[in-house]
Amino acid sequence: MRIATWNINSVRLRQDIVLRLIEERAPDVICLQETKVTNDLFPAAPFQEKGYTHIAVAGMKSYNGVAILSRLPMTSWEPRDWCNKSDCRHVIARLPGDIELHNFYVPSGGDVPDPAANDKFAHKLQFVDAMAEWWPAERSPKSKMVLVGDLNIAPLETDVWSHKQLLDVVSHTPIEVEKLTTMQASIGWVDAVRHFVPAEEKLYSWWSYRARDWRASNRGRRLDHVWVTAPLVGDLQKAEILSDARGWEPKPSDHVPVIVDIDLG
**What is the full DSSP assignment across 163-199?**
TTTTTTSTTS-HHHHHHHHHHHHTTT-EETTTTTS-T
Residues 6+ positions from 161 with CB-CB distance below 8 Å: 202, 204, 218, 219, 220, 221
Residues 6+ positions from 165 with CB-CB distance below 8 Å: none
Contact (CB, 8 A) for 120 and 109: yes
Parent domain of 8: 2-262
Contact (CB, 8 A) for 67 and 41: no
- The CATH number for 77's domain is 3.60.10.10
Domain count, the chain: 1
Residues 6+ positions from 177 with CB-CB distance below 8 Å: 153, 155
**Per-residue pLDDT of the chain in tens (265 residues, 90 and over written 9):** 999 999 999 999 999 999 999 999 999 999 999 999 999 999 999 999 999 999 999 999 999 999 999 999 999 999 999 999 999 999 999 999 999 999 999 999 999 999 999 999 999 999 999 999 999 999 999 999 999 999 999 999 999 999 999 999 999 999 999 999 999 999 999 999 999 999 999 999 999 999 989 999 999 999 999 999 999 999 999 999 999 999 999 999 999 999 999 999 8
